[in-house]
Structure 1
Amino acid sequence: MKVYDLKTLHMTNAFGIDQIPEFSWKLSSDRKNVIQTAYRITVKKGRETVWDSGKKESREQSFVEYEGEKLESGTVYTWRAEVWNNYGEQACAESSFETALLCKEDWKASWIASTVERKPVTQYKYGDTYAPVMFRRNFRLEQKKIASARMYASSYGNYRLYINGERPDDREFAPEFTVYNKLLYYQTYDVTELLRSGDNKIAMYVGDGWYFSGQTGPSEKKVKEPSVIYQLEIRYEDGSRERIMSDGTEQCGTAYILYSDLFQGEKQDLGKSGTEETAFPVRTEDYGHEMLCAQPMPPVRPAALIPAAEVFRTPKGETVVDFGQVLCGRARIMISAPEGSEITFDYFEILDENGNYINTMFAPQRDIVTAGKTPMVHEALFTFHGFRYIRVSGIENVKKEDFTAVALSTEKENSGEFECSDERLNRLYKNIRWSQQNNMMSIPTDCPSREKAGWTGDILIYAKTALMNENMTPFLTSWLKNVAADQQDDGTVMITTPFANLYSGLVKAQCAAFGDDRPTGVAGWSDAVVWVPYMMYQVTGNRRILQEMYKPMVKWCDYIIRTAREKRGYQDFPEEYDRYLWNTGFHFGEWLIPGKEDGGNFEDCKKSSYYIAPFFGYRTLTMMAEIAGILKDKEKEAIYSATAEKMKHAIRMTLFAEDRMPENLMGAYVLAFAFDLVPEHLTGTYKERLIRLIHENGDCLGTGFLATPFLMDVLEKLDEKEMAHDLLWQTNRPSWLYEVEHGATCIWEAWDADDAERTGRFVSFDHYAFGCVDDWICRRLCGIDSDTPGFSHIIIAPEDDRRLSYCHRVFESEKGKVEVTWTDRSLKITVPCNASATVIWKGKQFETGSGDYLWEI
């Protein structure tokens, strides 16, 4: 037996943390049926033991929380996992973690702000764009050998750190996108090897980033100018220490980037590269340290380098570079042009119907470069784009070898693989994974181009799929901290987190249109505060996230109950029922129902909101009752369970009994069945309506945002398995394979997004939401599911499909690798140690423990 993959806070050798650690590990063995019978965790600071769990008789191997002495700031700890199994074997392994600044009092540095007068360089619909600011500090170190040096830094605006001209790592867009007025991450860097005796230089280059963007920044900014804080802690080998920190002695100024904006783009003068205008003093500010906390997840980093696939001329004579893949990031470009030449790079996702450049976004996504004296490599520093193509203007003889796309994403470990005998499904899976990578940029975004916003509804429907493909625990935990920080006093959960200035007008319009004076919670969007932690628990067994988010979840559920009592519904029902129908306020409804949108205004939302909101209110409360039970809160469990039953009764006595269900909206019946709302006497009628709607739609799906994740499972529940499979294989629009067969390299925002080639509508070709079908593919087609949180008991039950002769899936669970490979005549599986499986194949059922197994016919 071997112990491997040790993690702290679900990160390998976690560095710069300020949370109470939790530990996890995995087991491997050549034996079958291996079960962990006990573990022991010891944590040490040097040779001193700060926690010894003792030998615990337990199968627990994830989210084991530290219960030792109070940890110290800026300290390296080693920890050891010792494990025993049912064969009497014993094994161990070691790892480490390092703390950051654990107390606000550990911060001795001052905030410093720029005094550079920054004038708007260009005007943009959602705000002005400005030049980034360079902060600089020179200092001297004694002729002593350094044992370790750690830099703790943060900013308002996105920053890049340089020590003696070198970057300590390759992270991008620090300090990440957060609810800045309440929560601001700082980063920890190991700069030991970058320092030297004698003269040294710290530089922090700060662009507007999310905070100062007119689109993504907070509505009320307490900080008006780019500002930074840093604290360098140096330990020498002789035991002495030294601290260099921001204190107002720095200088600031601009450099070679003339402006930068996340949406507008960036302009660089390469003739000024390497020069700085740092002649201005800085101003110390009392912004406080209360909002600072250590970054709890890995950073945004380059995820892939993609060479250009082709350079071509459009029918209009434009020069376009094609990378063959829609991605999130920017290009690394060798600039060889006469000095002073201005070259423009327009990033975009699709060509129009004639093969020309078309912009389907609010902003141009345009980078501009002024060439210097010698050939130089250009890459934007403070912006990223969603693109497949770049239109190049101002330079001749464009060569594809001069262009490399740099794909960016928050770093996460891969945990999913899929391959089958049909290349269209393989491409669909790639599209899903690309969309996930492109939209996990510090937060879960809707798209990396138009809005770059943390829409809560998108991740609500996609969280399960995301968790089955990557280690999402640190990333989603971080985002949920922001959801809690953004939550209003009355329990309202905002439609985007972090809530962005762009949507202030939208919220005001909601309030005005529906007679409210405050933001309203939105069914299927705000519910993410409950649904996402619940999905994390189901996939990983993470009780800790339920505990951490319990108060925000309770506040939200109490909001649902309270606002349901306020008689502001869209339809007139008796008070005894109406008070349990959450049909009040504004809701987006199902959203993006194919062929049913009439312009996207708020009045259109009412067409499906009257059932969407009560349905989701009910399901969220049943989910919350289960969570309360898991956390042993019997009082809340009883309240939410009883209220949910009254909601179900109210739905049945109104929407169902009075036949208020829409005749033409497929999603209404999908959700009614998915949430077990349909009474037995209506099952046949509602099933018949659903099947009829599918047939009338050309045997295509007709569901929008909130119903699509449940469509396939509902059909299987209604003994229509073949129809569910047929929808996956459908190639007419709307369908997943229609997108594949029409050249998609990511998941589209709307089923009819390709109309933009003709109409120029604002639509994204890189939204992960409808990629939620991969959850069904994994469970049904590939056969990997679980009936226990954390996959301790796995259900392996692949469904035959005549269109496939081969299917392969891997899921890296908390226990270890789950693998299924099936052909027409064989089934091969891997069950990880400390787990068991029920295998259902070809009408037979088998019970197994861990190990590799093969069945053939």
Structure 2
Amino acid sequence: MRWIVQRSACNKEGGQGTNNLDDRNAADRKGVKEMKDWLEKIHIDVEGMQYPIGIDQRAPVFHYRAEAKTGGKSISAYQIQVTGEDGQIAWDSGRTETDGTPYIVYAGEDLKAKTLYSVKLKLWDELGNESGFSEPCSFETGFFDTQWQAEWIEPVQEDAFEEKELDFLEMLIPTPEFRGGDVRLKECKNLRRKFQATGGIKKARLYASAHGIYQLYINGREVSSRRLAPETASHEHILYYQTYDVTGLLGQGENVVGAILADGWWIGRMGLAGDSCNYGKRLGFIMQLELEYTDGRRDMICSDGEFKSAGSHIRYSDLFIGEKQDLNQDYQEWKLAGFDDSAWENCLTVEADKKILTGQGIDPIVVQKEIAAKKIFYTPSRELVIDFGQVMAGVGRFEIEAAKGTEVTFEHSEVIDKNGNFKNNIIGRNKDQKDVLVCREGHQVFEPLFTYHGFRYVKITGIGKKQLLSAKALVMGTALQKIGSFSCSDERLNKLQHNIEWSTVSNMFSVPTDCPQREKLGWTGDIQVYTKTGSFNYDLKNFLEGWMRNVRADQNEDGEIPVVVPNLPKQERTQRVMSGDNSSAAWGDACVLVPYGLYLHYGDVQVLRDNFACMQRWLQYVKKSAGRKPEGYEEFTAAQKERSPYLWTKQYHFGDWLIPSLRALPDGVMRGTKETAAVVGSCYYAITVTHFIKVCEALGESKLAAEHRSLLKNIKKAVREEFVAEDGTVNNSALQGLYVIVLASGAVEGDLKHKVLEKLVTLIKDNDYCLDTGFASIPFLLDVLYDNGYPEVAYRLLFQTKAPSWLYMVQNGATSMWENWLAVLEDGTPTDSSYNHYAFGCVGDFIYRHIGGIQIAEPGYRKILFNPDLGCGLTRSKCEVISPYGRVALDWKLEGNKCRLRGEVPLGCSATLCVNQKELELSSGSFTIELEI
């Protein structure tokens, strides 16, 4: 093999071979200065956001990313200056030596509440080259511990309808009394308050939150394009407030602030059982508007008894059931200052907790893009249906022509049946996904405001095709930055990547959810298996750190981590009725595995520090649970008693959830749980302790690391003796996932490991190289095979198109990831399942590392291993990610016996290129390599 190497010191993001990620993220160019010396650009963000306002962190973290055009290969020192709006420097670090980590924690004087600060940064490389200061970026603090002057207020209203408790079977059976919203749902409420601005406005900030969800208006204009504020959180402990710059919306003289309130997560139907009133039965609102006049005077307008309320044109709105609007009622005039509100009722001030109000430290939910209808057609059953061509999360915007009083319904689904007719793919109570419009005369536009759906298809009743003038789908989700991409010579894998990305976007709504239609819950197991894949494609650092704050808040005193975070009180009741516990192996373990995944991808050790106590309490909980004496303990042999405390088998576990070979059985789902729970629980105990040891090492906790190495040794021994026979059979089972999970745990070594591997490979071959793995084992499957001498088996599974497999989804028209491997049966019948679940998309991590060839050798991509498998069966691959340091890229292409590789290593990083067992060391910059193979 002969190398021909071309090198360039240029480290400019978006250069040759890029997918122009910067063009997709215009906001990423803010806070950037074109440097006239050795640096091209410096990007700065604060708490993972561009120009955040209302952050409640007293010691915010600044992150920088530099691009060099000349000079050295690493950053040796920095100087950061933070200046208050009064011009006084709050912190000047001076020249500070650094090991090159791109994170700087604020260490200046105490920051003031509700104050604007600017930040600028200069850098030195290892050669002593000094940059100029970057263009300032800014951040604005929130309340901190200052007292809200505003009062919680409530519009005049009746208590919300509280749904009855259901048993398990009732949750899954749609019955007539479960349908329809008019009887059980109450109208949304309009709130307004007039006030006088007695001078020219220099600065105006509005702080707001709600029991429910809200949309704000000033003088008839929307305050923000964000949706569903204050968004979801662990509302027993955390309720986000939002900060808005409303300077440009106010004028001297009379102004009016208005809000619409809807049920949202506080009151609305949530969880598997569709329960209502998880946190309360009444809508509430709090708002504080602070004005600074041009002459220096200040004023404050607060929520109080002067606010007035009335019913809204939105007759009801629920996140699951849908929204009903009546456009014959006023939906615009009431927002204006001149509106006569004398007939409205005054709001009531109420006592409610203000201590849980916390500045929202993550990006907002927004409309990310619009998609035009791909096809509008009548089904064989003569239903009018719109096909948007893509499964997504969001709402529709429909332009129609109709007579006054016409009632039009818009019913959403992710699939149609095999005959082309509309099908509701989600069953259960309060899963309607149906919006309703009561028309005014003539032309009108309908767009729901306080709900969102999982859908591709919309069935319309009440009008004909000619009356539907236009239809668009509004794709919604948290405003995440796209940082990664992958493409290759196999269009099926490209489609799989497309599906992975869409299921990510569809399920990041304040928290990582399982699906956007049936549950919309923060299932911990789903994001646990998906963190690495998600973190490659999108910047999830700040988003998942925010979710982990909710995990810590919801952790029980005994250390238990709920299976769902935020931990809805009534969802917890449902879970405990079903299983007796509110936690499970592979689900609760997210409190260790998610922070470690974030540390691996983003290199910020602070995420480990923040969650370290939570991890310790969780492992104490697991240790106590494993240590309980099971039924029949007195009959155990001495060896069984010795290993019993190291086997996590004494509580409920989901096990290897959703195993395809068991799904068709009458008790398939729960049978899979029963057959796999013991092995999965005990093996995940080992896997999580293994990761906790790595956390301890990163934090310098050597004593704890040593203690847990001893614990890990005992767990592995117990797993091996309890579950693995001498011939390699695991738990007398023929389920692939059990063999995968035992191998992933490290419980078997040497000859026994080889036997377990052979058994696994035989099971795969006997299953015609199709999958038979569930949620818990799937993230390990391909690596277990690849790393232990069976790469060809791993690739046969990856490229398999028969059911069940990843590409079976693609071959059957999937535009997102399915919850079940066989969501569409082989005869084309769609099942009652979710078609937008990202968990099985965890395969992306394997693809990016082994086909794309980008592997993390040191957390945060500080060191990179470029190790593409040129024997994977493809002829080209193109892979890149914007790491914390900058752009990491590798493109490779085979032409006959030659291979061309192009790539990029960011400033401050180094890399090893490994091709066909030959290695080449690379420093920062771009490279092109040609070799004969």
Which TM-score band applies after superposition, normalised by the shorter structure?
over 0.9
Give 3-state SS (helix, strand or coil) of 1:67's partner: coil
8 A Cα contact 2:683 2:745, kept in partner: yes
Render the CA deviation track for 1:447-502: whole Å, top value 9, x for unaligned: 10111111100000000111111111111011111111111111111011112355
Render the CA deviation track for 1:130-154: whole Å, top value 9, x for unaligned: 2111111111111x22111000000
* Aligned-partner Cα distance in 2 for 1:805–1:550: 44
* Aligned-partner Cα distance in 2 for 1:266–1:384: 9
Alignment TM-score, normalising by the size of structure 2: 0.88
Matched, 1:553 2:594: no
Which of 247, 252, 258 is 2:304 aligned to?
Answer: 247
Deviation at 1:758, TM superposition (A): 6.8
Deviation at 1:759, TM superposition (A): 6.4
* Aligned-partner Cα distance in 1 for 2:827–2:231: 34
Q: Supply the AA of the counterpart residue of 1:235.
A: E
Gaps in structure 1 of 5+ consecutive residues = 513-518
* Aligned-partner Cα distance in 2 for 1:119–1:30: 62
Render the CA deviation track for 1:254-273: whole Å, top value 9, x for unaligned: 11111111111111111113
Which of 202, 217, 226 is 2:257 aligned to?
Answer: 202
Q: Supply the AA of the counterpart residue of 1:225.
A: R
Give 3-state SS (helix, strand or coil) of 1:199's partner: strand
Matched, 1:360 2:425: yes
Q: Supply the AA of the counterpart residue of 1:693.
A: L
* Aligned-partner Cα distance in 1 for 2:70–2:370: 41
Task: Indicate the residue corresponding to 2:197 in structure 1.
Answer: 141
How is 1:72-151 mapped onto 2 (pairs within 5 angstroms)? 72-91=112-131, 92-117=133-158, 124=178, 128-142=184-198, 144-151=199-206
Which of 826, 842, 845 is 1:775 aligned to?
Answer: 845
Gaps in structure 2 of 5+ consecutive residues = 1-38, 163-175, 335-340
- Comparing 646-655 with 554-563, which one deviates more in the overlay? 646-655
* Aligned-partner Cα distance in 1 for 2:154–2:550: 25
Task: Indicate the residue corresponding to 1:312 in structure 2.
Answer: 377
Q: Supply the AA of the counterpart residue of 1:2.
A: E
Render the CA deviation track for 1:33-70: whole Å, top value 9, x for unaligned: 62111111111114211112222221334331101111
* Inter-CA distance 381–569: structure 2 relative to 1 (3 Å threshold): farther
* Aligned-partner Cα distance in 2 for 1:589–1:767: 18
8 A Cα contact 1:110 1:247, kept in partner: yes
8 A Cα contact 1:80 1:93, kept in partner: yes
Task: Indicate the residue corresponding to 1:169 in structure 2.
Answer: 224
Task: Indicate the residue corresponding to 1:703 in structure 2.
Answer: 773
* Aligned-partner Cα distance in 2 for 1:570–1:415: 54
* Inter-CA distance 43–301: structure 2 relative to 1 (3 Å threshold): same
Give 3-state SS (helix, strand or coil) of 2:416's partner: coil
Deviation at 1:104, TM superposition (A): 3.4
Which of 291, 304, 321 is 2:356 aligned to?
Answer: 291
- Comparing 523-532 with 671-680, which one deviates more in the overlay? 671-680
Task: Indicate the residue corresponding to 1:516 in structure 2.
Answer: none
Task: Indicate the residue corresponding to 2:587 in structure 1.
Answer: 525
Render the CA deviation track for 1:651-670: whole Å, top value 9, x for unaligned: 12222257652431111111
- Comparing 124-133 with 16-25, which one deviates more in the overlay? 124-133
Matched, 1:269 2:326: yes
- Comparing 458-467 with 570-579, which one deviates more in the overlay? 570-579
* Inter-CA distance 244–674: structure 2 relative to 1 (3 Å threshold): same
8 A Cα contact 1:154 1:228, kept in partner: yes
* Inter-CA distance 126–221: structure 2 relative to 1 (3 Å threshold): farther
Task: Indicate the residue corresponding to 1:448 in structure 2.
Answer: 516
Q: Supply the AA of the counterpart residue of 2:192.
A: R
8 A Cα contact 1:482 1:498, kept in partner: yes
8 A Cα contact 2:851 2:872, kept in partner: no
8 A Cα contact 2:415 2:830, kept in partner: no
Quote the RMSD (CA, aligned, Å): 2.2
Give 3-state SS (helix, strand or coil) of 2:537's partner: coil
* Inter-CA distance 822–171: structure 2 relative to 1 (3 Å threshold): same
* Aligned-partner Cα distance in 2 for 1:224–1:757: 46
Deviation at 1:166, TM superposition (A): 0.9
Matched, 1:325 2:380: no
Q: Supply the AA of the counterpart residue of 2:325.
A: Q
Number of paired residues? 850
8 A Cα contact 1:836 1:848, kept in partner: yes
Task: Indicate the residue corresponding to 2:603 in structure 1.
Answer: 541
Matched, 1:471 2:533: no
Which of 797, 803, 815 is 1:727 aligned to?
Answer: 797
Task: Indicate the residue corresponding to 2:103 in structure 1.
Answer: 63
Give 3-state SS (helix, strand or coil) of 2:248's partner: helix
Aligned residues with identical type, % of pairs: 35
Which of 154, 159, 177 is 2:214 aligned to?
Answer: 159
* Inter-CA distance 453–314: structure 2 relative to 1 (3 Å threshold): same
Give 3-state SS (helix, strand or coil) of 1:821's partner: strand
* Aligned-partner Cα distance in 2 for 1:502–1:796: 48
Matched, 1:23 2:89: no
Give 3-state SS (helix, strand or coil) of 1:591's partner: coil
Matched, 1:592 2:658: yes
* Inter-CA distance 431–601: structure 2 relative to 1 (3 Å threshold): closer
Q: Supply the AA of the counterpart residue of 1:390.
A: V
Task: Indicate the residue corresponding to 1:339 in structure 2.
Answer: 404
Which of 806, 809, 818 is 1:748 aligned to?
Answer: 818
* Aligned-partner Cα distance in 2 for 1:673–1:126: 50
How is 1:337-736 mapped onto 2 (pairs within 5 angstroms)? 337-362=402-427, 363-398=431-466, 402-501=470-569, 503-510=571-578, 512=580, 519-568=581-630, 574-597=640-663, 598=665, 599-600=667-668, 602=670, 604-656=672-724, 661-736=731-806
Q: Supply the AA of the counterpart residue of 1:340.
A: G
Task: Indicate the residue corresponding to 1:183 in structure 2.
Answer: 238
8 A Cα contact 1:837 1:848, kept in partner: yes
Render the CA deviation track for 1:425-453: whole Å, top value 9, x for unaligned: 11111110000000011110111011111
* Inter-CA distance 761–561: structure 2 relative to 1 (3 Å threshold): same
* Aligned-partner Cα distance in 2 for 1:95–1:427: 41
Task: Indicate the residue corresponding to 2:35 in structure 1.
Answer: none
Render the CA deviation track for 1:401-433: whole Å, top value 9, x for unaligned: 600100001001110112222221111111100
8 A Cα contact 2:400 2:467, kept in partner: no
